[in-house]
Amino acid sequence: MPNPRLNVARQVLKARYFIEPLYQFNGLHYIYTMKILRTPDERYAGLADYPFNPNYTMIKTADGSELRIHHLDEGPEDGPIVLCMHGQPVWSYLYRKVIPHLTAAGMRVIAPDLVGYGKSDKPAALEDYSYENQVAWMGDWLENNDFNGITFFGQDWGGLIGLRLVVNHSERFERVVISNTGLPYNPNVADDVVKKIEDFRANAPTPSIIEMQKALSAMADSDPAQKFAYWQKFCWETENLPVGFMMSMMLEQPAAPMQAFKFLLHNLGMTNPLPTDVAKAYEAPFPDPSYKMGPRAMPSQVPMLPTSPSLEAQGKAWEFFSQFEKPFLCAFSDNDPVTRNAQADFLSKVPGTKGLPHTTIKGGGHFVQEMAPDQVAKVIVELIHST
């Protein structure tokens, strides 16, 4: 017999977690207009190790709104283009250590900020941040800048969105390098698992930052969709997502006493206690919680379940990559619990992976650009030179 409570939960979750813009109410159509926020420039003044000049592109959204997208453009103008895309909850600051290695090797580095992140504009509503919106926005950005002959590098959401750009604009790309990312497509998840995850999202209390971290650390061991649901729920339901604090704790790994003290201050209500330069930089794009809708919403757009509105598009993307013969290199780290072994699908299904020196990034963690920038750059440069 159907469970009415779970049926209600599914309807709620469709609205709360699988976000689709609404253009109709009680049979009446209306015009949806985005509210768009723009971080003041002074928030970026004096950031450590980020000496790069900004570049801006205006695009039009489906509702006619204008979005300003920021990108870095470093290195020789006539050098091979390397498109470096970041994930959630970071921005192009993530590539500050990789860029000097690439430009020294003669590469031209293009590093955009996704909409909702960094110096790019930030739609203010959670429902604006669908996977398909991000793909469309960044596709328009790519076309407007007319970049060609691209070697793509993507990690985390940078891979999810960037790989779809390769599908939609394949003539512009010559090579692909991915690290700690994926192209999720899960049409056959058992119904009881789907119900369990949906019930958890709808009814469980918001996990603490410690509970969320424990779940993510066990993702590769079993039930990845159920473990990842902790991250989705934590981000969605934490209004003032502690982006700078989380990135600092993950990347800088302070000594145990300082770590305990910072967690105590955080638990007492400080979003970014005793911030380091790294913590300040990753918190900089967000003057207040209203600017954080992108980082809050995007984890719930990862299509881990067959109920995802992106399921069909992901299936078509895999059909494309099953015939993709251009160089496609995997460079995953040896200690990222979130994407461990995720390269296996690419290595088995993408023809362009054959015969390439797929690399394990040593000690790269999840954000390899921070923890192993020299290794990341070496992989990219060697692939370009060898192909």
Helix (H/G/I), strand (E/B), else coil: 296: helix
Q: Give the Cβ contact number of residue 316 at 10 Å.
A: 13
Assigned domain for 338 exists: yes
Assigned domain for 22 exists: no
pTM beyond cutoff 0.85: yes
CATH number at residue 104: 3.40.50.1820
Assigned domain for 251 exists: yes
Determine the pLDDT at residue 28.
53
Q: Which are the catalytic amino acids?
A: 156, 336, 366
Determine the pLDDT at residue 24.
44
Domain that holds residue 150: 36-185+307-386
Determine the pLDDT at residue 220.
67
Assigned domain for 18 exists: no
Residue 83: beta bridge partners? 110, 152
Residue 128 is encoded by which pair of tokens? 């604006």
pLDDT averaged per 10 residues, the chain (length 387) = 37 38 48 87 95 97 94 98 98 98 98 98 94 97 98 98 98 98 95 94 94 84 85 96 96 93 92 96 98 96 94 98 98 92 95 97 97 98 97
- Looking at the structure, tell me whether residues 40 and 149 fall in a common domain: yes
Assigned domain for 132 exists: yes
- Looking at the structure, tell me whether residues 80 and 204 fall in a common domain: no
Question: What is the rounded distance in angstroms from the CA atom of residue 314 to the CA atom of residue 152?
Answer: 19
Instruction: Say how many domains are in the chain.
Output: 2
- Looking at the structure, tell me whether residues 288 and 142 fall in a common domain: no
238 touches 264 (CB < 8 A): no
Determine the pLDDT at residue 5.
33
Assigned domain for 26 exists: no
Read out DSSP for 217-275?
Answer: HTTTTS-HHHHHHHHHHHHHH-TT--HHHHHHHHHH---HHHHHHHHHHHHTT-SS-S-
Residue where a domain stops, chosen among 240, 270, 301: 301
Assigned domain for 11 exists: no
Determine the pLDDT at residue 27.
52
- Looking at the structure, tell me whether residues 49 and 179 fall in a common domain: yes
Determine the pLDDT at residue 68.
98
Residue where a domain stops, chosen among 242, 271, 301: 301
